């Protein structure tokens, strides 16, 4: 039986000094020195290293509820720990995986308790560690279930090492490259030939004979390849470059270049109607880029008067097909830029050829003006039709003047106007 005196002593509150000692014990990593000494002995291997790793992991597991307590001592633990791993990694050997298990177990426990994002702040990231770490990872057998902590620790370390392994010669200054090429292009465009020739070394001597088009614009040409590029600015620059180069060729050779541009529009004829059936629905962007680049090239060639009338029966059906180019892709579709470029081709044809050439295809332009869902395509088709009608002065088409007057740039910005109001006029 407990006496009243003893019972009162049990119910009495603890002394203030005792409370401070309990709180201090929970807020400080009291085993930091012991853990650091045990980590220093992990490089010896054997049972002693395994026992030391077990003791360190037991100490660290106590702080899972308050991992921030470990922060002041993290550098004291991580740096010597990875120093042991580095020594073993550079030494190599057949039994290196067995020696790595104790320190890597401690490393994994540190990441588990405190979080790897905090631990990696103290991980060395020297380039000389890259090859040994990759070599060690390659020697670990995936089917060995005892090495997963080694793999985890090495990959955490490797994630920091690879971030700093970049050679100065491997750096790329993309903006500097673009600036250099832009400057050179401006110099060659605006400079005088007599002043530039003494400054340039002879690279290729071009004889007086004009090379064949296959040599200038063959299948491997940068310009023809650029017509299929994924970037619009590259396709547009390639089309302008082809037009300028072809302008300096004889007419019969320029016609071969036109044939190469027409080949980019590679549809299949079904019942007299050209359909872009060659478009792969799984990867439609590449084929759509070729159609877009081909239309831009044809427009540039026609604008410079390089497209012979004999080519029109082959080209016009494909251009009409490009006016209605629309390939479904999931919940959207691909082809707006192709239809816009096809309107540019029609505009160039209207300026280069007689109105009678475009008369059979004016209805296709009006369909685009009225029904296309994209406002920029409707406006482009309207501009092409105005050029075909020659702004209403020729009277080539029925109600042409009224259509040109009503379907102007601003009016076509409204889809209800295009669908309902101008449909009656067209």
Calpha distance 324→343 (Å, rounded): 10
pLDDT 10s per residue in the chain (426 long)? 444 444 444 455 545 444 444 434 447 888 888 888 888 888 777 788 889 999 999 999 988 888 888 888 888 899 888 888 888 877 766 567 788 888 899 999 999 999 988 998 888 888 888 888 888 888 887 777 778 888 898 899 888 888 875 555 555 567 788 888 889 888 888 888 888 877 777 655 555 544 444 445 554 467 778 888 888 999 999 889 888 888 887 777 777 777 767 776 655 443 444 444 333 333 344 578 888 888 898 899 888 888 888 888 888 888 888 888 888 887 888 889 999 999 999 889 888 887 777 777 777 877 888 888 888 888 888 888 888 766 445 556 666 667 777 777 777 777 777 777 665 555
Please give the radius of gyration of the chain, using alpha carbons only, rounded to the nearest integer. Answer: 38
Structure-derived torsion over alpha carbons of residues 33, 34, 40, 43, reported in degrees to the nearest 10: -160
Q: Which residues contact 408 (CB under 8 A, 6 or more apart)?
A: 382
The model carries a pTM of: 0.50
Give CA angle at 355 (354, 361), nearest 5°.
120
SS (H, E, C) 194-209: HHHHHHCCCCCCCCCC
Task: Residue 114: name the closest of 62, 67, 77, 66 by CA.
Answer: 67
CB 101 within 8 A of CB 60: no
CB 377 within 8 A of CB 341: no
Question: Domains in the chain, ordered, with CATH?
Answer: 16-161 (no CATH), 219-425 (1.25.10)
């Amino acid at each position: 039986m407990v006496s009243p005196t003893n019972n009162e002593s049990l119910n009495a509150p603890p002394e203030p000094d005792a409370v401070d000692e309990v709180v201090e014990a929970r807020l400080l990593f009291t085993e930091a020195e012991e853990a650091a000494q045990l980590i220093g002995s992990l490089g010896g291997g054997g049972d002693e290293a395994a026992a030391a790793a077990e003791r360190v992991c037991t100490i660290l597991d106590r702080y899972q509820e308050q991992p921030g307590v470990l922060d002041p001592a993290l550098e004291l633990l991580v740096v010597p720990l990875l120093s042991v791993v580095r020594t073993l990694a550079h030494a190599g050997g057949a039994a290196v995986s067995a020696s790595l298990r104790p320190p890597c177990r401690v490393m994994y426990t540190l990441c588990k308790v405190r979080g790897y994002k905090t631990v990696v702040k103290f991980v060395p990231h020297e380039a000389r560690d890259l090859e040994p770490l990759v070599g060690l990872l390659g020697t670990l057998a995936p089917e060995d279930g005892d090495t997963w902590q080694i793999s985890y620790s090495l990959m955490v370390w490797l994630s920091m090492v690879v971030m700093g392994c970049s050679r100065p010669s491997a750096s790329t200054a993309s903006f500097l490259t673009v600036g250099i090429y832009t400057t050179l292009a401006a110099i060659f465009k605006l400079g005088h030939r007599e002043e530039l020739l003494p400054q340039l070394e002879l690279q290729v001597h071009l004889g007086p004979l004009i090379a064949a088009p296959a040599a200038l614009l063959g299948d491997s040409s940068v310009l023809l390849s650029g017509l299929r590029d994924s970037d619009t600015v590259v396709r547009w620059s390639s089309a302008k470059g082809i037009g300028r180069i072809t302008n300096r060729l004889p007419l019969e050779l320029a016609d071969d270049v036109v044939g190469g541009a027409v080949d980019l529009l590679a549809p299949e004829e079904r019942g007299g109607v050209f359909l872009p059936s060659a478009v792969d629905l799984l990867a439609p962007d590449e084929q759509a880029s070729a159609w877009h680049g081909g239309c831009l090239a044809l427009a540039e060639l026609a604008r410079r008067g390089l497209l012979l009338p004999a080519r029109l029966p082959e080209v016009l059906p494909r251009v009409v097909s490009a006016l209605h180019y629309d390939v479904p892709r999931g919940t959207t579709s691909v082809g707006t830029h192709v239809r816009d470029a096809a309107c540019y081709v029609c505009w160039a044809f209207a300026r280069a050829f007689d109105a009678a050439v475009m008369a059979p295809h004016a209805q296709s332009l009006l369909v685009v003006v009225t029904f296309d869902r994209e406002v920029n395509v409707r406006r482009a088709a309207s501009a092409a039709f105005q050029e075909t009608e020659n702004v209403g002065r020729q009277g080539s088409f029925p109600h042409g003047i009224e259509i040109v007057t009503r379907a102007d740039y601003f009016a076509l910005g409204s889809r209800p106007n295009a669908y309902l109001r101008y449909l009656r006029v067209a």
